[in-house]
Amino acid sequence: IAAIKEPFTDQGQTKEYTSARLNSKITYKYGRIEIRAKLPFGQGTWPAIWTLGKNIAEPGAYWYNEGFGSTSWPACGEIDIMEHWGSNQNFVQSATHTPSSYGGTINHGGQNISTASSEFHVYAMEWTEEKLVFSVDDVVHYTYNPPVKNSSTWPFDEEQYLVLNIAIAGGISPYLVQSSLQIDYVRLYQESSLATEQIDSYQELMVYPNPIDDEFNLRLDEDIRGRGHFSIYNFDGKLIETRVEQVFGNTITLKNLQHLTQGTYII
């Protein structure tokens, strides 16, 4: 991603620099994310590797247009995996923005990286139900673990999406012609929930249609009344989602499955 000195006019305003912001179309909750990157240099450059809540109310944005924009910032949560300012060349920072602290947040920490703009480094965040741990090349510099977790301090129980960008801060050097944020890779690691249940109460089980599109039916060999709990696993045994459906009779219909990619699933 390059910040380039060139005039650009949009919405009646002319700017002296162009840059870019990349928003991922994949979201996740919990896991370890690693980004191997080399940072730009120069007074006024402001690169960041960060995440926003999938539910952010940001008109025109991808997830907003997909119907998820229900929560304003900072209630949606923001996680800054890495921020860097050309005015403080050797320092990188991580931070969180929540309703309890945002903007000039007090929830931050960082470390000095003397080769941040000349060499690649791995910027990482581990996200669990309890805390966020930030590191560079496996050296931890900040942990966010509020003792009380509620909507004000911990909006991080919903999916987030990754953002990569270079912003231009005030006081940019007039001699800066071009500087880049270089990304070698982005890797996401998550735990796999393996299926261990043995279900042997039904001798006959019919699933149709096969293959399915957006819904399918389960026909059992006896009538059932009550709440049915369903777990959908991929073929590697990872839990994809769970459902609770009211069941009356011997046929159960699961709907709205069109978001699943083509493949084999275990119900």
Q: Count the helices and strands in the chain (H runs, E runs).
A: 1, 18
CA distance 103 to 101: 7
Element (H, E) at 163: strand 160-168
CA distance 192 to 195: 10
Instruction: Tell me if 95 sits within 8 A of 84, measured CB to CB.
Output: no
Q: Is 197 a catalytic residue?
A: no
Catalytic residue, candidates 6, 16, 34, 78: 78
Q: Is 83 a catalytic residue?
A: yes
Task: Give percent helix, percent strand, percent coil of the chain, each to the nearest 5.
Answer: 5, 55, 45
Catalytic residue, candidates 83, 129, 159, 215: 83
Q: What are phi and psi of 39, to 5 degrees?
A: -90, 155
Q: Which two tokens stand for residue 4?
A: 């380039």
Catalytic residue annotation: 78, 83
